[in-house]
Each structure stands twice: as structure tokens, then as C-alpha cells.
A and B are shown apart, each in its own frame.
Chain A
Amino acid sequence: MTSSRAAFAAILGKDLRAELRTLQSLPAMALFSVTTFVIFRFGLDRTSLSGSLAAGVLWATLLFAAVLGINRLFVAEREEGGFDAIRLAPIDRSALFTAKAAALLVYLLALEVIAVPVFALFFLHDLGGLVPLALVLLLADLGLAATGTLISSMAVNSRARDLLVPLVLLPLVVPLMIAATGATEPLLALGGPGYDRFGTWLMVLGLYDLIFGLVGYAVFDFLLED
């Protein structure tokens, strides 16, 4: 058997190389998020946001931008025979799950490098909450990457893939979004960042990551069967 680490590195490297070359997912995700912030800015007619409204705008935008990337995560595997190639190779198939989740995590982090400064520019007067926000983003991204990879692999063989991913994914990430917005709300509070129940929400995010990471790892092998 090829080691799982070698297979993980090969699949992740292939995905990132292909994305850098074609820019099929990231620019669309970034453009979507920036456009949505513009719409919120003029739709709400507000030059600053704080507390729960700021957290809601940020996370709703990031989540829907993530769906664009999740939709495309396995398209090359489906359309170019990657699933067959991986099923024929002497590798642990869960390496495909971990590599795809890692690729999605990289996309989400890259998206946030663009989207969060734009959000701050449009809506925030106090930037003090952005440093601890990075931890919330990382933990929420881990959960979104695990859940998104699982759902994307299930939906990729369906012709209604674009419809199926949001329909199945969004209910599953409700707990993740509740925890992410709960942790973000005090960080973006009017008058500067606070840490009310911040630790509790971080633990909820960590628990979600653990559960969906383990579920994805455990069931992914069966999803690749004919």
C-alpha cells in the first residue's frame, strides 16, 4: 500500500496546482463575497455594523461563497476519471477525503484573506476584534471543509449537484453557523471586542469539527463504491 501521507500529498498537490492554473473556484468565491458585501452595504444603508448583525452578515456571506467552491470540489474527479484512478490505486481511500478537505480549507482561508479585509473596510470602525476572529474563522473553516467535502462527494454524481449541495449542506452547518456567529458577535461589539462566552463557542466549534471530521473519514470509503 502507498502510504496515506504520500497519497494525501499527491492529491492535495494536484488539486492546488490545477486551481492555481485554472482559477475556477477561488476568484468566483472572492467575487461573490465582495459583491454581497456591496449589496449589504447599500441594502442596509449602513456604513458600520456591530454585534450580531455584523457577525450574521460576515458568516452568511462566507458560507454562501464557500458553497460555490464546495460545488466544484469533485468535478474533476467525476468528469476526468479521477475517482476510477484513485479506486484502482493501492491507497487508503480516506486519503482522498482528507486531501479534498485540506484543499477546501486552503480555498476558504484564501477567500477570507480577501473577504475579511473588505468586510472590515466596508463595515468596521474598530479592528481590534479581527485578531481573535482569525481563530474563529479557522475552527469554522475546519468544520465547513469536513462537512462540505462529505456532501460534495455525495452530490457529485447527481445532475442536480448545484441544487443538492446547498439543500443538504445548509441544514447540516446550522450548528456550525450558530457557534461561529456566537463567537464572532462579542468580537465585533460596539465599543470594542468582548469575550462573553467566547471560549464556550470555540469549544462547540471544535466539537463540531471533531464529529464531522470523524464521520467523513469513517464513511468516505463507502461513498466511493459503485
Chain B
Amino acid sequence: MPPEQEKAPAEAGGTAIHLAGLRRDYGERTALDGVGLTLAAGDSLVVLGPNGAGKTTLLRILATLLRPSGGEVRVLGCSLPSEAWKLRGRIGYLGHEPLLYRDLSGRENLRFHAKLHGISGAAAEERIAELLGGAGMERRADERVAELSAGMRQRLAICRCVLHEPELLLLDEPDSNLDAEGRELARALIGPGGGHTRVVVTHDPERFLPEADQVLRLGIGETAAVS
């Protein structure tokens, strides 16, 4: 388990994410404008939209990896960007890149991330073994990441994402490169019902909409719609 760190108290009503008038600009171009929603702790938000609508930008802002250009952003009771440091270690982020070093094995990568999150020794080994088993990666865990297929890397990335038992999962196309078996295993690790609050960016609404408590539709040059 990660060590105790200073955590912001849960907001009234158990709100995990509150956005109001969120805007993000890249120079002259506006990627997000006027995004607003409130997501309760433990709920799942599915984010839909065409390429370039700002889905990944939204996820990176929630992960504290990008600063918002305007508007109000509160995540797990922390105001962003000013209290971003309080969120570190409480978020599991699965982006387009697996955040794994190609020249290390899967197990070495997970050990590295465990150390960064303050999990070490027997506790780390136990957690890593549990996750590798859950992802069907025990037999390939000691191979270099560079030698693994994209699907295998995605399974490892999912293990990395939940290694420190985060409260909030931010998942960008979590099923990408996964086969049917991989999708089922991934569902057990990052699916609904695990006690996490989830934000899932997807181009596959048929798969993820049944799990959604809220849906955010982003359009290019349009106001974001929540349903």
C-alpha cells in the first residue's frame, strides 16, 4: 500500500470531479472551452467525441499533467492547478503511451513504479505478482518491454496504472490493442465495481456506455454536452 500522504478531504456529497467553464488553449487554438460537469465518487464518466475534440487534453488536465487555461477544476477535493501536488499518487493514468521503459522487463518496470509510489519489499512483490497474474502476464513478465507486442504492453500499462491502488482512474482508450481475453482481464482490473471513480475516453461507445453513470460528449468548436 502507498504510504500515507496529505489528502484533501472529500467534498460534500462525495464529489470526485467538479468542472466549471474549463478551457484549455494551445497558443491560438482552443482545445477545450466551457466544459462543466460534476461526477460523484465511485461513478464512471465516459467521454466521447471525434479526433481533435480535446478528450485526451481533458484527461491530462485531470491527471495534473496539463494546466487548464481557465475555469474551475476540482479533483478529489483538490483545486487544480494550485493543489496538484496533493493529488500525486491518488490517480491512475492510462494514456496513449504505456509509460514503460522499453529496455527494462515488465516486472522491473512495475518495481520501479512501485518504488516511486512508496511500495517496496515484500508488499511490492506481492502486489506485482497479483497484478501480473490478473493481467495474464506472469510468463512474459521478465521479457524486455521492447520485445512485447502492443497488446502485452497495454496489459502491463494497466498493471502500472492500478499498482498503487488509486482512487481515480483516468483511462484513454483502455481497450486499445487488447484481444478478447485481454479485454476481459482488463475489465477485472479497471472495470466498474472496483471502488474507483473512472473517467474513460473511448471511440467504442457500445462497449463502455452500459457502464457509464454520465456521458460527456465533446465536439470540435461545440459546447460540451453532459447526459
Q: Do residues B64 and A84 form an inter-chain contact, with CB atoms below 8 A?
A: no
Q: Given A82-B101, A84-B95, A226–B67 Cβ distance below 8 Å?
A: yes
Q: Given A17-B104, A226-B66, A84–B93 Cβ distance below 8 Å?
A: yes
Which residues 136-192 of B sit at the A interface, judged by CB distance below 8 A? 144, 160
B103 CB-CB contact with A under 8 Å: yes
Q: Which chain A residue shows the least CB distance to B6? A: A1
Q: Do residues A22 and B103 form an inter-chain contact, with CB atoms below 8 A?
A: yes
Residue of A2, A76, A225 near B116 (CB, 8 A) is: A2
Q: Do residues B112 and A80 form an inter-chain contact, with CB atoms below 8 A?
A: no
- Compute how far the CA of A90 lies from the CA of B64 in the bound complex, rounded to whole angstroms: 12
The 7 closest A-B pairs by CB, nearest first: A90-B89, A10-B115, A81-B99, A89-B116, A2-B118, A81-B97, A90-B88
Q: Given A88-B88, A90-B89, A81–B95 Cβ distance below 8 Å?
A: yes
List 25 interface pairs A-B (beta carbons < 8 Å), by A numbering. Answer: A1-B5, A6-B115, A7-B115, A10-B115, A10-B116, A13-B112, A17-B104, A21-B103, A21-B104, A76-B101, A80-B97, A80-B102, A81-B99, A84-B65, A84-B99, A85-B99, A85-B116, A87-B65, A87-B88, A88-B89, A89-B113, A89-B117, A90-B88, A90-B89, A226-B65
A residues near B66, Cβ cutoff 8 Å: 226
Interface string of A167-210 (1 = CB under 8 A from B): 00000000000000000000000000000000000000000000
Q: Do residues A88 and B65 form an inter-chain contact, with CB atoms below 8 A?
A: yes
- Compute how far the CA of A76 lies from the CA of B97 in the bound complex, rounded to whole angstroms: 13
Chain A interface residue count, CB cutoff 8 Å, equals: 27
Q: Do residues A91 and B116 form an inter-chain contact, with CB atoms below 8 A?
A: yes
B100 CB-CB contact with A under 8 Å: yes
Interface string of A148-170 (1 = CB under 8 A from B): 00000000000000000000000
Which residues 50-100 of B sit at the A interface, judged by CB distance below 8 A? 63-67, 88-89, 91, 93, 95, 97-100
Q: Min CB distance, A96 to chain B, in Å?
A: 10
B residues near A18, Cβ cutoff 8 Å: 101, 103-104
A68 CB-CB contact with B under 8 Å: no
Specify the main secondary structure of chain B where it touches its partner.
loop
Q: Min CB distance, B162 to chain A, in Å?
A: 13
Q: Given A7-B115, A81-B95, A84-B93, A14–B101 Cβ distance below 8 Å?
A: yes
Q: Do residues A9 and B115 form an inter-chain contact, with CB atoms below 8 A?
A: yes
B residues near A86, Cβ cutoff 8 Å: 116
- Compute how far the CA of A88 lies from the CA of B60 in the bound complex, rounded to whole angstroms: 11
Q: Min CB distance, A145 to chain B, in Å?
A: 21
Specify the main secondary structure of chain A where it touches its partner.
helix
For B64, B112, B116, B144, the residue with the greatest tally of chain A CB atoms inside 10 Å of its CB is B116
Q: Do residues B99 and A82 form an inter-chain contact, with CB atoms below 8 A?
A: yes
Q: Which chain A residue shows the least CB distance to B118? A: A2
Interface string of A89-116 (1 = CB under 8 A from B): 1110000000000000000000000000
B9 CB-CB contact with A under 8 Å: no
A residues near B64, Cβ cutoff 8 Å: 87-88
Q: Min CB distance, A176 to chain B, in Å?
A: 31
Q: Which chain B residue shows the least CB distance to A89? A: B116
A residues near B101, Cβ cutoff 8 Å: 14, 18, 76, 80, 82
A residues near B91, Cβ cutoff 8 Å: 88
- Compute how far the CA of A163 lies from the CA of B116 in the bound complex, rounded to whole angstroms: 32
B residues near A7, Cβ cutoff 8 Å: 115-116
Q: Given A22-B103, A90-B5, A6–B97 Cβ distance below 8 Å?
A: no
Q: Which chain B residue shows the least CB distance to A87? A: B65
Q: Min CB distance, B95 to chain A, in Å?
A: 7
- Compute how far the CA of A203 lies from the CA of B75 in the bound complex, rounded to whole angstroms: 50
B108 CB-CB contact with A under 8 Å: yes
Q: Which chain B residue shows the least CB distance to A88? A: B93
- Compute how far the CA of A198 lies from the CA of B115 in the bound complex, rounded to whole angstroms: 43
Q: Min CB distance, B9 to chain A, in Å?
A: 18
B3 CB-CB contact with A under 8 Å: yes
A residues near B104, Cβ cutoff 8 Å: 14, 17-18, 21
